[in-house]
Amino acid sequence: MRRNLIRLLLGMVAPTLLAGCAGMDYVSVATVAAKTVPKVAQASRPISDSEEYYVGRAVAARVLTTYPLYQDKELTLYVNEVGQAVARKSSRPNTFRGYHFAVLDTTEVNAFACPGGTIFITRGLLKTCANEDELAAVLAHETAHVANKDGVNSISKARWTEVATTLGTEAAKQYAGAAGSLVTLFEGSIDDVFKTIVVNGYSRTAEEAADAAAVATLSRAGYDPGAMAALLTKMTAQEKGGSGIYKTHPPTSERLAKVKAQGGEGKPSPEMAARTKRFQSQKL
């Protein structure tokens, strides 16, 4: 049932967020995989960009079993425009099939970066933002997680070796390139990433690096680099007893101090008023 649910979600996501997805016979794939997975050494190899994309695609489907998509095409387009603007100025402007941004219909304050470039922001976090620059700060932070490959780095090396070896065998010959087979074969890896981004959170080092990268990206993209500090200041006041992002990230006050120490306290540009008006016109 779990596999059927993931299969269904991949099909639902395809037209609006990711790419097309062909149907798969999960029983056949599982049978082939069971016959062909060998015992392998604990050594590993880097995950390729295309493999990262398929893992991220499946992680995105798993996220959507917990949080529904917000069905507002205009808002989704707007978030994508802001997201693409910061992604182009990130340290990794191009991924295997590009960056994709979407809004989750929940009041929880949170955002998730799936491997390969699928990024979600909740309506709760959108409402915490006061303007487009603060939205850009959130998306720049999540883009940094993708650029730094924090998601795929959470996959057990031994597990990835097993998956990679299997993909080079009969299973890959029969089902090469099909998202369905990858969902089956990568299930353990998907669990690793999902638990990291949704349940446990990244390491303190990874979060601080993403904050620092976000400030630099904001500046390069023409946004106010001080927007990150402004957003974190508000989040500090909301943190006590909070769930979502507050449970999976380092203390917000510590993040704020680091951002300020980095010099992330810029000055609003003349274009900021227009950007704020555009943000306020959206249905949040």
Query: CA gyration radius for the chain?
Result: 19
The one-digit pLDDT tens for each residue of the chain (284 residues) are 444 434 433 443 433 443 333 333 434 444 444 443 433 333 346 788 998 998 899 999 999 999 999 999 999 999 999 999 999 999 999 999 999 999 999 999 999 999 999 999 999 999 999 999 999 999 999 999 999 999 988 887 666 666 666 555 555 555 454 444 444 556 778 888 999 999 888 888 999 999 999 999 999 999 999 999 999 999 988 877 666 787 778 888 899 999 998 876 666 678 899 999 999 999 88
Q: Smallest Cα–Cα separation from 258: which of 211, 203, 216?
A: 211
Domain assignment of residue 257, yes or no: yes
207 inside domain: yes
Domain membership of residue 193 (yes or no) is: no
The residues with which 122 forms a beta bridge, in sequence order, are: 104
The verdict on pTM exceeding 0.85 is no
Give kind and range of the element (H or E) at residue 95: none
Q: What are phi and psi of 153, to 5 degrees?
A: -70, -15
Question: Is 209 domain-assigned?
Answer: yes
Q: H-helix or E-strand containing 114?
A: strand 111-114
How buried is 268 (Cβ within 10 angstroms: 0-12 exposed, 13-18 middle, 19+ buried)?
middle
Whether 112 is in a domain gets the answer yes
**Total number of domains constituting the chain:** 1
Residue 162 within any structural domain of the chain: no
Q: Is residue 19 part of a domain?
A: no
Residue-range definition of the domain harbouring residue 262: 67-152+202-280
Alpha carbons 139 and 84: distance in angstroms, whole number: 9
If 0-12 CB within 10 Å is exposed, 13-18 middle and 19+ buried, where does residue 233 land? Answer: middle
